[in-house]
Amino acid sequence: MGAKTAISLYENGMCTKTEAERLLAFCNNSGPAFILGVVGAGVFASSRVGVLLYLAHAAASICIGILFRFYKDSKPRDCLLQ
C-alpha cells in the first residue's frame, strides 16, 4: 500500500521523483501487528522475540532515513564548488 501511495503522490505532482524514491525505501517494512503477533507469538512462541524483531525493524527504518537523507541531494554544495 505504501508503494502505491508514493507513486500516486508522484503522479499527482505532490512530490518530486527523488522524494518518491525516498518514500519507496520505507515501503518494505512489516507492520507491528504482524511482527509482534504472527512472527513473535505465533512462530517463535515468544513475545520477547517479537519485540526484538520490531525494534530491529524500527532501527533499520531510522538508518534508512539517515542514509537516504543524502540520496540525490539537489541542493548545491558551496564547499565542493570552491
The span from the CA of 21 to the CA of 67, in Å, is 13
Contact 28, 14 (CB under 8 A): no
In the numeric block, the cell 527523488 is attached to 18
Segment 2-51, tens digit of pLDDT: 889 889 999 999 998 888 888 888 777 788 999 999 999 999 999 999 99
pTM of the full structure = 0.68
The span from the CA of 67 to the CA of 45, in Å, is 34
Contact 10, 20 (CB under 8 A): yes
pLDDT of residue 74: 60
